[in-house]
Amino acid sequence: MEAEPDHVLANHLLGSVYYHQGTLDLAIERYKKALELAPKFVECSYDLGVAYYHRGNMPEAIRAYRHCLDINPNYNSAHYRLGIALFHAGELDQALEHFEKCTALTPEYLMARYHIGVIYERMGDFDAAAREFQRSADDVVEEVSSLYHLAQIHRSRGDDAKAEKLLDQARQFGQTSVS
């Protein structure tokens, strides 16, 4: 860095070192420098978004992820992370849109399905939420979070037997994973 302070990859790599050390402000500084030098460096923009997200700065994380998608509209991880940041910013409709794009690009990205279920649950569309949680639970062996949410939906509908069955499944997973 001393010899070549404007070296794009060196700035990006140093940002990654700072990020993994937990010094997020320094990581952000290096990522921004790399992007100043190479504005289309999509991976660096993504890493900047991750650093801002972990710093708790959702508006900047959202901006960085959107920049990624301006460069590469099919960057699946950027759609997922943008969905997460938008969710935390309270922008549920936009978050849902990006989680849907994520699952369209990569159907096996099952955590996007889980988050779609959470959004529908927050919006009060319990049928859609149950459908997404069920898909997530079916596709991932013992996906405990989806089982829990699905149980709560069944309980709210008065189907305590189904709710208990789902919660038992979740508890069994917890017991077998500890052994």
100 part of a folded domain: no
Count CB neighbours of 50 within 10 A.
Answer: 20
Structure-token pair, residue 51: 């650093």
Q: Which of 21-30, 72-81, 93-102, 105-114 has the lowest mean pLDDT?
A: 105-114
Q: How far apart are CA 94 and CA 32, in angstroms?
A: 25
CA quadruple 167, 169, 170, 171: dihedral positive or negative?
A: positive
Confidence band, pLDDT 50/70/90 cuts, at residue 44: very high
Does 178 score more than 50 pLDDT? no
157 part of a folded domain: yes
Mapped onto helix, strand or coil, the DSSP state of residue 41 is coil
Shared-domain flag, residues 75 and 143: no
Report pLDDT for 179. Answer: 42
70 part of a folded domain: yes
Residue 61 is part of which domain span? 1-91
Confidence band, pLDDT 50/70/90 cuts, at residue 175: low
Comparison of pLDDT for 108 and 124, the residue scoring more: 124
User: pTM of the entire structure?
Assistant: 0.84
CATH number of the domain that 69 lies in?
1.25.40.10
Q: How far apart are CA 143 and CA 117, in angstroms?
A: 13
97 part of a folded domain: no
Shared-domain flag, residues 85 and 4: yes
